[in-house]
């Protein structure tokens, strides 16, 4: 079977890498891919991103399955377009993707279905939003309702910051239509984890837990990013917490979406906050896999991902389990100079050939913002590479990832040196 993976980041490289390992798969196209997917003999990049053109390509090439990585095409209805053309695709419909594409939809849905989340109000009128902030006081979280490339969430520790965020979104139109409606919600403290499942409309199969590092700098300081590193499993998701997340969040979400006539099929990502008392609340839903979380998750997945997706498309996820490598995995993201505000492109990347199966047997380097020209591989986006390692312990995975990074360089390369710090502190620095 020919498979098409839509997207070009680290998540899609990891997905395509895993899908290509399936004995059921003869060819994997990646649209548009990156320099890493271009270099992989098992993968073929295609320079197509428009949904109608992807439908035409899939028909012409006899693609048997399409898997969508990013939220934007899902929110724009790529699954609806493929389904209308009688092509198999794994992902939520445009209506179901509202769990991510409208923060107001997601919050109201959670309230309707008794799913734990922070208290909130939604505003389109700036004066009303400012009055609410004055009455409520900080800290607050101000969110653009729509998709804003990961930049539409402001954690406002002061009322002044909350007012400024409302001004930027509702008055200055910082995010265009995506910010024409804002959600203002209570700030909640705790430890965040990424809980991702595959859903078939009625059942959910949990993937291994993971944890991201959203801030740019060590010690969780600096600006928010798309994610500077991740590991799996996340020790904060104990077996008891895992059962609670399934019972209190995932099951009511899948059942609620089905009851409301928008059954959810696809990867579903719940960003959950677990506080010191064990209280659990959903921070956000994403209608896709996380990035970089996908990278450590895929290297730990022992089951055939294509078989799992086929169960999801057949509505039989309740009949299958996912098998996991018992080792830990960690991804350290290497970012471009100027990331996240203004990533610089064009810097030449050196040393990729020094990280290979012989020199670093437990390491896989997934590409994200890379492109190749006549001179070699260059930086072409904010997050550039995801250096991903397996280890008997998280500490060993960390050591292997950072040892591989020592071989790679480009001007302005930025990365955190403390990926895994929460889990390692929890385990008392277990080696």
What separation, in Å, do the N-terminal and C-terminal C-alpha atoms of the chain show? 42
Q: Which member of 200, 291, 310, 362 binds ligand GLY (CB under 6 A)?
A: 291
Could you give the CA distance from residue 166 to residue 372 in angstroms, rounded to a whole number? 41
Q: Assess contact for 52 and 18: CB atoms under 8 A.
A: no
Nearest CB to ligand GLY, comparing residues 129 and 301: 301
Kindly state the smallest distance separating residue 317's Cβ from ligand GLY, in Å. Answer: 22
Question: What residues between 38 and 57 interact with ligand GLY by CB under 6 A?
Answer: none
Question: What residues between 58 and 77 interact with ligand GLY by CB under 6 A?
Answer: none
Kindly state the smallest distance separating residue 63's Cβ from ligand GLY, in Å. Answer: 25
Q: Which member of 37, 45, 286, 398 binds ligand GLY (CB under 6 A)?
A: 286
Helix (H, G, I), strand (E, B) or coil at 417: coil
Kindly state the smallest distance separating residue 291's Cβ from ligand GLY, in Å. Answer: 5
Kindly state the smallest distance separating residue 286's Cβ from ligand GLY, in Å. Answer: 5
Kindly state the smallest distance separating residue 213's Cβ from ligand GLY, in Å. Answer: 9
Could you give the CA distance from residue 35 to residue 193 in angstroms, rounded to a whole number? 30
Q: Within 13 Å of residue 160, how many CA atoms lie on the same side as its CB?
A: 0
DSSP result, 328-376: EEEEEEEE-TTTTTSPPP-PBPB-GGGSSTTT-TTEEEEESSEEEETTE
Where does this chain touch ligand GLY (CB under 6 A) — which range of 86-94, 286-294, 310-318, 423-431?
Answer: 286-294
In the structure encoding, which two tokens stand for residue 394, read together?
């998280």
Strand partners, 186: 140
Contacts with 424 (C-beta within 8 Å, 6 or more apart), sequence order = 394, 395, 398, 430
Where does this chain touch ligand GLY (CB under 6 A) — which range of 121-129, 156-164, 287-295, 397-405?
Answer: 287-295
Q: Give yes or no for residue 192 binding ligand GLY (CB under 6 A).
A: no
String marking each residue 212-231 x if it binds ligand GLY according to CB under 6 A: x-------------xx----
Size of the site for ligand GLY (CB under 6 A): 7
Give the CA distances from residue 98 to residues 116, 126, 159, in Å, rounded to whole numbers and listed in that order: 18, 23, 29
Where does this chain touch ligand GLY (CB under 6 A) — which range of 59-67, 180-188, 288-296, 308-316?
Answer: 288-296
Q: Which member of 293, 304, 310, 347 binds ligand GLY (CB under 6 A)?
A: 293
Query: Which residues of the chain form contacts with ligand GLY (CB under 6 A)?
Result: 212, 226-227, 286, 290-291, 293
């Amino acid at each position: 079977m020919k498979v098409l993976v839509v997207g070009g980041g680290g998540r899609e490289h990891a997905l395509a890498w895993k899908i290509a390992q399936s004995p059921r798969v003869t060819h994997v196209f990646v649209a548009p891919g990156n320099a890493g997917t271009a270099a992989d003999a098992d993968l073929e990049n295609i320079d197509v991103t428009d949904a109608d053109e992807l439908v035409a390509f899939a028909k012409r090439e006899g693609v048997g399955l399409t898997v969508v990585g990013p939220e934007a095409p899902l929110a724009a209805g790529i699954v609806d377009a493929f389904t209308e053309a009688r092509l198999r695709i794994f992902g939520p419909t445009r209506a179901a993707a509202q769990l991510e594409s409208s923060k107001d939809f997601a919050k109201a849905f959670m309230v309707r279905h008794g799913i734990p989340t922070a208290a909130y109000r939604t505003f389109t009128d700036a004066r009303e939003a400012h009055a609410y902030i004055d009455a409520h006081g900080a800290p607050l979280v101000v969110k653009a309702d729509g998709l804003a490339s990961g930049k539409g969430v402001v954690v406002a520790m002061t009322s002044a910051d909350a007012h400024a965020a409302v001004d930027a979104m509702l008055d200055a139109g910082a995010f265009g239509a995506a910010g024409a409606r804002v959600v203002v919600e209570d700030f909640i403290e705790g430890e965040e984890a990424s809980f991702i499942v595959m859903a078939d409309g009625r059942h959910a199969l949990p993937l291994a837990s993971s944890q991201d590092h959203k801030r740019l700098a060590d010690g969780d300081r600096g600006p928010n990013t798309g994610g500077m590193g991740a590991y799996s499993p996340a020790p904060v998701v104990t077996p008891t917490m895992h059962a609670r997340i399934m019972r209190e969040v995932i099951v009511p979400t899948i059942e609620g979406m089905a009851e409301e006539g928008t059954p959810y099929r696809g990867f579903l990502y719940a960003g959950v906050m677990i506080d010191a008392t064990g209280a659990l609340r959903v921070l956000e839903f994403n209608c896709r896999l996380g990035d970089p979380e996908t990278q450590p998750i895929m290297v730990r997945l022992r089951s055939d991902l294509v078989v799992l997706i086929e169960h999801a498309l057949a509505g039989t996820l309740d009949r299958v389990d996912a098998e996991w490598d018992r080792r830990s995995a960690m991804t350290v993201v290497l970012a471009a100079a100027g990331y996240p505000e203004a990533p610089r492109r064009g810097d030449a990347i050196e040393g990729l050939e020094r990280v290979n199966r012989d020199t670093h047997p437990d390491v896989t380097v997934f590409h994200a913002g890379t492109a190749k020209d006549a001179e070699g591989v260059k930086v072409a986006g904010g997050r550039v590479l995801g250096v991903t390692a397996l280890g008997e312990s998280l500490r060993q995975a960390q050591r292997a990832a950072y040892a591989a990074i020592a071989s790679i360089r480009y001007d302005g390369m930025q990365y955190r040196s403390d990926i895994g710090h929460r889990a390692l502190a929890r385990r008392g620095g277990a080696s």
